[in-house]
Amino acid sequence: MSHNELAKSGYTVKFRPWLVVHTEFFSEKKHALIREKELKSSRGRDFIKNQILPKF
């Protein structure tokens, strides 16, 4: 929720409000960081386009 309210400037401010469409939970931070890096890769972008976005 804070992403929609706190920041006053920045690139993503103009894209508000944010809507959570997918969440993943990890028991260790290092696994979450690995997954974040994967999602920012070409393969990860394909996952987002094919698995998450079509639901909207």
The answer to whether residue 13 sits within a structural domain is no
Say what percent of the chain tops pLDDT 90.
Answer: 34
pTM: 0.61
How far apart CA 29 and CA 27 sit, in angstroms, is 7
The answer to whether residue 4 sits within a structural domain is no
Contacts of 17 (CB under 8 A, 6+ apart): 4
The answer to whether residue 50 sits within a structural domain is yes
The answer to whether residue 53 sits within a structural domain is yes
The answer to whether residue 2 sits within a structural domain is no
What is the residue range of 31's domain?
A: 24-56
The answer to whether residue 7 sits within a structural domain is no
Q: Based on the structure, what is the number of domains in the chain?
A: 1
Q: Which regions in the chain score pLDDT beneath 50?
A: none
For the record, the structure tokens of 43 come out as 């393969």
The answer to whether residue 38 sits within a structural domain is yes
The answer to whether residue 10 sits within a structural domain is no
How far apart CA 52 and CA 25 sit, in angstroms, is 16
- CA 5 to each of CA 2, 16, 24, 26: distance values in angstroms, whole numbers, following the listed order: 5, 9, 23, 26
